[in-house]
Chain A
Amino acid sequence: DIVMTQSPDSLAVSLGERATINCKSSQSVLYSSNNKNYLAWFQQKPGQPPNLLIYWASTRESGVPDRFSGSGSGTDFTLTISSLQAEDVAVYYCQQYYSTPLTFGGGTKVEIK
Chain B
Amino acid sequence: EVHLVESGGGLVQPGRSLRLSCTGSGFTFGDYAMSWVRQAPGKGLEWVGLIRSKTYGGTPEYAASVKGTFTISRDDSKSIAYLQMNSLKTEDTAVYYCTRMIGTGWPVDYWGQGTLVTVSS
What is the interface of chain A, defined by CB distance below 8 A to chain B?
1, 38, 40, 42, 44, 49-52, 55-56, 61, 93, 95, 97-98, 100-107
Contact = CB atoms under 8 A, between A and B. Distances in A.
Nearest to A93: B45
B57 interface: no
Nearest to B114: A49
Q: Is the interface of B mostly helix, strand, loop or mixed?
A: strand
Contacts of B61: 100-101
A100 B104 contact: yes
A104 B40 CA distance: 14
A104 B45 contact: yes
B99 to A, nearest CB: 9
B89 to A, nearest CB: 19
B104 A106 contact: no
Given A49-B97, A100-B61, A40 B45 contact: no
Interface of B: 35, 44-47, 50, 61, 63-64, 97, 101, 104-114
18 contacts: A1-B64, A42-B108, A44-B45, A49-B97, A49-B111, A50-B97, A52-B107, A52-B108, A55-B109, A95-B107, A95-B108, A98-B105, A100-B50, A100-B61, A101-B63, A103-B47, A105-B44, A107-B45
Nearest to B98: A49
Contacts of B110: 52
